[in-house]
Amino acid sequence: MNSPFTFGKVVSGKTFINREKELSKLKLNFQSGINTMLISPRRWGKSSLVKKATEESKSENSNLRVCFIDIFKINSELEFYEILLKEILKNSALKWEDWIKTGKNFLKNIVPDFIIGIDPQNDFSIKLRWSDIEKAPDEILNLPEKIALKKNVQFVICIDEFQKIAKFKESLNFQQKLRSVWQYQNRTSYCLFGSKRHIITDLFQNQSMPFYRFGDMMFLQKISKEHWIKHIVNAFAETGKKISNESAINIIEKVQNHPYYVQQLAHQVWINTSKTVNKSIIETSTDELLLYNGIMYANEVEKLSLLQINYLRAIIDKEEKISSKQSVKKYNLGTPGNVPTIKKALENKEIIDFFEKEPSFIDPLFQYWFAKNYK
Ligand SMILES: Nc1ncnc2c1ncn2[C@@H]1O[C@H](COP(=O)(O)OP(=O)(O)O)[C@@H](O)[C@H]1O
Ligand SMILES: [Mg+2]
């Protein structure tokens, strides 16, 4: 029998739980053409939430054309335009012949190369020349708006891992270009989301940045305990196994409500259980996960400086004022002046975050492992 728990990929259908409020807010924004920026640490459920919101919105409103673009693997402005154009065209019509026709009709200065495979629906890509784009980037940036007007539809363009944009060459310039075109569109709205909170908040919340106040800012929270309990207890019951509320809570608390890890640990417990979950199964399962992930964690720690490791020790101890003289001495952090640099480095490496002002580990299992091995 298949495990009722999913992790490491976008969840949908029955495996998607709660997020009621966030869903209705997102859907409302999509319907009313309001731009949204959505932020959380990675693996908290952004992609799943946006996917779900777009699916539901599409089925409720047939005038809505939704493009879903993941720019994680994109490294340049040119590639960005290529993938954006592809998604816009694919959402402009049902047949691939029409995608090409629309491209040719609407673009004047830009002449794309269309690459069509045996199965064009899934095997369709576009190559552009930088010399074309340079002269007329607006042609692509304004394309959804033009198509929307002509066809009397509405576009929503969702861009996943948006923080990646900060890594492009001349990023600021590019962001300005995007914003200056996007802000005048009426039939096209954007949902920009991603992790690396410090980068992405800088993109959106820094007054001097082009995307400052671009739209509705949402900070995604973890999924609360009650929803997880219900989900875990039901999932076990439906697959002929039993878990008490107390054990479900035990799983959830072990990984601090972290959506990805709740699913992963629940899955491990499910595998190790033939009939009924007990405490020792949960312990064994946690140890197994620590063992699986341990090699990766050890690699990560190897890349840290001694000062950074010491700083993590202080977090584990819940030290309140880490930059105070006493703490700096106690944890061998060099001088108080070092602390901001250490914090920045750990933030950049996505090991800690300051989501709730206090520094906290992004990965609860890593925290567990670190506390066990480095205390
Ligand atoms: N609404 C949800 N219901 C159940 N599990 C979820 C939900 N959101 C996230 N998860 C869990 O977290 C994992 C990561 O979700 P994902 O949407 O990829 O996060 P992100 O895009 O923020 O990195 C999923 O594979 C799943 O295990
Ligand atoms: Mg994601």
Q: What is the pLDDT of residues 44-61, one digit of tens each?
A: 999 999 999 999 999 999
Same domain for 156 and 97: yes
162 domain-assigned: yes
Nearest-CA residue for atom 23 of ligand 1: 43
Amino acid at 115: I
Please tell me the number of Cα atoms within 13 Å of 143 on its side-chain side.
29
In this predicted structure, which of 76-80, 125-129, 146-150, 198-202 has the lowest mean pLDDT? 198-202
Structural domain containing residue 272: 225-300
Which ligand sits nearest to residue 260's alpha carbon? Answer: 1
User: Using a 6 Å cutoff on CB, does residue 47 contact ligand 1?
Assistant: yes
Same domain for 310 and 294: no
- Give the chain's mean pLDDT: 94
Please say whether the beta carbons of 42 and 222 come within 8 A: no
Q: How many domains does the chain have?
A: 3
40-69 as b/e: b if 16+ CB within 10 A: bbbbbbbbbbbbbbbeebbeeeeebbbbbb
Same domain for 91 and 47: yes
The pLDDT score that the predictor gives to residue 357 is: 75
Nearest-CA residue for atom 14 of ligand 1: 43
5 domain-assigned: no
Last residue of a domain, one of 182, 201, 219: 219
- Percentage of the chain beyond pLDDT 70 is 100
Last residue of a domain, one of 166, 193, 219: 219
Same domain for 136 and 81: yes
pTM of the predicted model, to two decimals?
0.93
Please say whether the beta carbons of 167 and 203 come within 8 A: no
Please tell me the number of Cα atoms within 13 Å of 210 on its side-chain side.
15
Report the distance separating Cα 68 and Cα 59, nearest Å: 15
For the cut 80, the answer to whether the pLDDT of residue 356 exceeds it is: no
Dump strand ranges (E) for 140-207: 154-160, 188-194
Nearest-CA residue for atom 9 of ligand 1: 45
CA 43 to centroid of ligand 1, rounded, Å? 6
Please classify residue 225 by burial: count the beta carbons closer than 10 Å to its beta carbon, then call 0-12 exposed, 13-18 middle and 19+ buried. Answer: middle
Across residues 116-142, what is the average pLDDT?
Answer: 93
308 domain-assigned: yes
Q: Which of 6, 7, 48, 227 for mutating ligand 1's site (highest number of atoms within 8 Å of CB)?
A: 48
For the cut 90, the answer to whether the pLDDT of residue 201 exceeds it is: no
Kindly report the CATH number assigned to the domain that includes residue 206: 3.40.50.300
Which ligand sits nearest to residue 266's alpha carbon? Answer: 1
User: Using a 6 Å cutoff on CB, does residue 260 contact ligand 1?
Assistant: yes
Cα separations in angstroms, 223 against 19, 191, 209: 7, 21, 31
Same domain for 94 and 23: yes
Kindly report the CATH number assigned to the domain that includes residue 368: 1.10.10
Report the distance separating Cα 294 and Cα 281, nearest Å: 19
Please say whether the beta carbons of 137 and 107 come within 8 A: no
Tokens of 362: 């992004």
Q: Which atom of ligand 1 approaches the CA of 42 most closely?
A: 23
Kind and range of the H or E run holding 287: helix 279-302
Pairing of strands 154-160, 64-70: parallel
For the cut 80, the answer to whether the pLDDT of residue 95 exceeds it is: yes
User: Using a 6 Å cutoff on CB, does residue 257 contact ligand 1?
Assistant: no
CA 231 to centroid of ligand 2, rounded, Å? 21
9 domain-assigned: no
Tokens of 306: 């001694």
Same domain for 145 and 69: yes
Q: Please state, as a whole number, how many other Cβ atoms lie within 10 Å of the Cβ of residue 343.
A: 18
Report the distance separating Cα 217 and Cα 41, nearest Å: 15
Q: Please state, as a whole number, how many other Cβ atoms lie within 10 Å of the Cβ of residue 240.
A: 9
Same domain for 179 and 100: yes
Sign of the torsion angle spanned by Cα atoms 319, 322, 325, 328:
positive
Please say whether the beta carbons of 58 and 64 come within 8 A: yes
Query: pLDDT of 306-350, one tens digit each?
Result: 999 999 999 999 988 888 999 999 999 999 998 999 999 999 898
329 domain-assigned: yes
User: Using a 6 Å cutoff on CB, does residue 230 contact ligand 1?
Assistant: no
Same domain for 247 and 344: no
